[in-house]
């Protein structure tokens, strides 16, 4: 399996899983047919061009998962899958200009690594005739997240002839160059275009802070080691199996008020004093 992973990001129903199927040729990849997500956890698929493709829950999934959950779960999954090198495909619709949605997605990408933007390819699905205008939403979201102008992210757009019910009849006899000017491409052409663009991007290397548990010697990322029960759910235990009791580590101290006489007695009356029995009731009480 390749060491470079490609994470697909975008709103639920935008076509992340469909692009994974296109790039891998794996017909087993489940594809959504609407606004409801068909992806509930991270899945990794191997392509034929040296990339592994990661299909994940959407950055703002239709199942109303919190942003924090999705962000943390994605990072946890990347760590557990031992992902070391990454590139991103960010897919959007041309009418997806809602700033809050794109800003969530920009944050979703940005928390992976501060240098991740050098590894991002943006795709505008079903553009019209002005790709520059229709990609402004993504560019603005990146700018607002990074607080820097002009973060260079390549953008491509296309309409997949194989995915639409009926492409305009005038398009079909045109050459590749003429169709490409109007963003009409076949699946195999889109595949080659995406691979070409991915190859031109520099992969981002991911680093996770691994530590060794001093108690069980397990090595892991502390934020994601929810299976390390020995130190997250630690309990006092007595080595011989007897129920543990709380004891004072120092000398015994009287807890009665100084104005009262402190008297000692054994709490277990099954035991007896080896010498002469002594009364322990106060003399003011009857014997």
Domain boundaries along the sequence of the chain: 4-205
Phi, psi of 108 (to 5 degrees): -55, -40
CA 28 to each of CA 11, 25, 81, 230: distance values in angstroms, whole numbers, following the listed order: 21, 9, 20, 39
**75-114 burial, b if ≥16 CB within 10 A, otherwise e?**
bbbbbeeebeebbbbbbbbbebbeeebbbbbbebbbebee
* Tens digit of pLDDT at every position of the chain (287 positions): 568 999 999 988 888 989 998 999 877 787 755 544 544 567 889 887 889 999 876 555 545 556 566 667 777 888 888 888 999 999 998 766 557 888 888 988 988 888 899 999 999 988 887 888 888 889 889 988 888 877 889 999 999 999 887 788 899 899 999 999 999 999 999 999 999 999 999 999 988 777 777 777 677 776 665 554 555 444 444 445 555 555 555 555 555 555 555 555 555 555 555 555 555 555 555 44
Q: Domain 4-205 falls in which CATH fold? A: Rossmann fold (3.40.50)
CA 119 to each of CA 20, 75, 77, 116, 247: distance values in angstroms, whole numbers, following the listed order: 18, 17, 19, 5, 58
Q: How far apart are CA 39 and CA 57, in angstroms?
A: 5
Residue 85 DSSP SS3:
strand
């Amino acid at each position: 399996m390749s060491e470079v992973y490609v994470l697909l990001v975008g709103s639920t129903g935008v076509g992340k899983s469909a692009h994974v199927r296109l790039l891998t040729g794996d017909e087993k990849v489940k594809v959504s047919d609407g606004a409801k997500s068909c992806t509930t956890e991270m899945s990794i698929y191997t392509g034929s061009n040296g990339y592994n493709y990661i299909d994940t829950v959407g950055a703002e999934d239709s199942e109303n998962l919190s942003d924090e959950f999705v962000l943390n779960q994605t990072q946890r999954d990347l760590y557990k899958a031992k992902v070391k090198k990454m590139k991103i495909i960010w897919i959007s619709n041309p009418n997806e200009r809602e700033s809050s949605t794109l800003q969530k997605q920009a944050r979703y990408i940005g928390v992976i690594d501060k240098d991740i933007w050098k590894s991002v390819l943006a795709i505008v699905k079903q553009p019209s005739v002005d790709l520059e205008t229709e990609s402004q939403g993504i560019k603005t979201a990146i700018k607002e997240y990074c607080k820097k102008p002009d973060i260079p992210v390549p953008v491509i757009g296309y309409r997949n002839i194989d995915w639409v019910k009926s492409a305009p009849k005038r398009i079909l006899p045109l050459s590749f160059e003429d169709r490409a000017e109007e963003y009409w491409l076949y699946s195999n052409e889109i595949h080659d275009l995406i691979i070409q663009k991915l190859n031109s991007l520099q992969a981002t290397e991911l680093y996770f802070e691994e530590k060794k548990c001093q108690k069980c010697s397990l090595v892991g990322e502390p934020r994601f080691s929810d299976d390390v029960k020995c130190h997250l759910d630690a309990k006092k235990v007595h080595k011989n199996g007897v129920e543990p009791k709380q004891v004072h580590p120092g000398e015994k101290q009287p807890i009665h008020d100084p104005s009262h006489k402190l008297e000692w007695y054994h709490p277990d009356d099954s035991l007896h004093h080896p010498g002469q029995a002594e009364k322990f009731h106060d003399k003011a009480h009857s014997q």
